[in-house]
A = this chain, B = another copy of it.
Amino acid sequence: MTIQVFGHKSPDTDSTGSPIIWAWYLNQIKGTAAKPVLLGEPNTEAAFMLERWGLDKPEIIADVEDGAPVVIVDTNNPAELPANVNNADIQGIIDHHKLVGGLETKGPIEIRVEPLACTATIMWKMIGKDLAQAPEGVKGAMLTCILSDTLEFRSPTTTQEDKAVAHALADDLGVNIGELAAEMFAAKSDVSAFSDAELIRMDSKEYEVDGTKFRVSVLETTAPDIPLNRKDSLMETMKTVQSEDGVDQVLLFVVDILKEEATLLVPNDLVKSVAEKSFAASVSGDTVVLPGIMSRKKQIIPNLKV
């Protein structure tokens, strides 16, 4: 049975590219039938990656069947995975997030988690010299994933390993990193076609702090004005998203990749208090700029206080 390889439910570049990379490896190097699939529509940057490297858009699936062989990449969180995932035959997990618990396997399987910025960097290490056999598209997806997750090495999640692997791939492909990243970030910033609710849910994770459930949403962009000009309607839509998703509060951070700062929308006193307690920010008005804040994983989540 063909192994389905997938990332999380809001396919960004790493969750779209890493399944493609790993399915190639399983098929071509390991001789095991595998195919990449998605759990939702890829975001605009991920769609750019597919086009840039001539890759087919993977099929989007709604759930997995009992006993179906799967490999999970770029998450280990059941909340971000198909509802039936624990009844599938999970054969491998490759990830770079904290362990949240909840995934269970029937027997021992291969699990590789490393504190690197990007799943593709871990795959580069696992594939080793067999990568020489990979087509340009697979190497290009790898490079694009790393530049995406590191925000072209600006994010504090970036490690020396991510950087070294990206430079090696760029040299091999004859690609200028700055030019590729600029095209990627332009694609990611092109969000005018999305509804407010789609923007809020696009890159979003749920976290609970002292009993308060947050949906922590991030929009990484080189054009912060596009979402910020819509802040009134975004804040209005938060209420709908909150009630639909069963969370107490949406926190929407518009991350300016080039200026290396985040703007948090402040619709009410709860968010004002979170901003003050978590980031020592002084809030007046309905937005607050947080200098240097770029990473949900490294900077936002670990500091979140109610």
- Which residues of chain A (54-110) have a CB below 8 Å from chain B? 90, 93, 95-110
Is A109 a contact of B102 with CB atoms below 8 Å? no
Interface centre among A100, A102, A105, A116 (most CB of B within 10 A): A105
Whose C-beta in chain B lies nearest to the C-beta of A91? B115
**Residue A104 contacts which of B95, B98, B109, B115 (CB distance < 8 angstroms)?**
B98
Q: Is the CB of B110 within 8 A of A104?
A: no
A101-B99 Cα distance, complex, nearest whole Å? 9
Whether A98 lies near B109 (C-beta < 8 A) is yes
> How many copies of this chain does one complex carry?
2
Whether A113 and B114, one on each chain, are in contact in the complex, defined by CB atoms closer than 8 angstroms, is no
Hey, which chain B residues are within 8 Å of A96, CB to CB? 108
Contact (Cβ within 8 A) B108 A114: yes
A110-B114, A111-B112, A113-B110 known; A102-B101 Cβ under 8 A? yes
- Interface check A230, CB cutoff 8 A: no
A277 interface residue per 8 A CB criterion:
no
* Residue A285 lies at the interface, judged by CB distance under 8 Å to chain B: no
Interface of A is mostly: loop
Q: Are B115 and A112 in contact (CB-based, < 8 A)? A: no
Closest partner residue, chain B, to A97 (CB atom): B108
- Flag whether A178 is at the interface (Cβ < 8 A): no
- Contact A101 B98, CB 8 Å, known A110-B113, A112-B111, A115-B110: no
Query: Shortest Cβ distance from A18 into chain B, in angstroms?
Result: 15
Residue of B nearest to A86 (CB): B101
Query: 7 more A-B contacts (CB under 8 A) besides A90-B99, A98-B109?
Result: A95-B108, A98-B108, A99-B104, A106-B302, A107-B298, A110-B113, A110-B115
Residue on B with the closest CB to A96? B108
| A111→B108 contact, CB < 8 A | no
A105 to B76, CA, bound (A): 12
Task: Please tell me if the beta carbons of B112 and A112 are within 8 angstroms of each other in the complex.
Answer: yes
Find chain B residues with CB under 8 A from A111 CB. 99, 111-114
Q: Is the CB of B108 within 8 A of A100?
A: no
Contacts of A116 in B (CB 8 A): 108
Residues of chain B with a CB closer than 8 A to A108's CB: 95-98, 113-116, 297
Give bound CA distance, A111 to B98, whole Å: 10
> In the complex, A115 Cα to B108 Cα: how many Å?
5
Q: For A302, what are the chain B residues with a Cβ–Cβ distance below 8 Å?
A: 106-107
Q: List 30 A-B contacts (CB under 8 A).
A: A90-B99, A93-B99, A95-B108, A96-B108, A98-B105, A98-B108, A98-B109, A99-B103, A99-B104, A99-B109, A99-B111, A100-B104, A101-B101, A101-B102, A107-B115, A107-B297, A107-B298, A107-B302, A108-B114, A108-B115, A108-B116, A108-B297, A109-B113, A110-B113, A110-B114, A110-B115, A111-B111, A111-B112, A111-B113, A112-B113
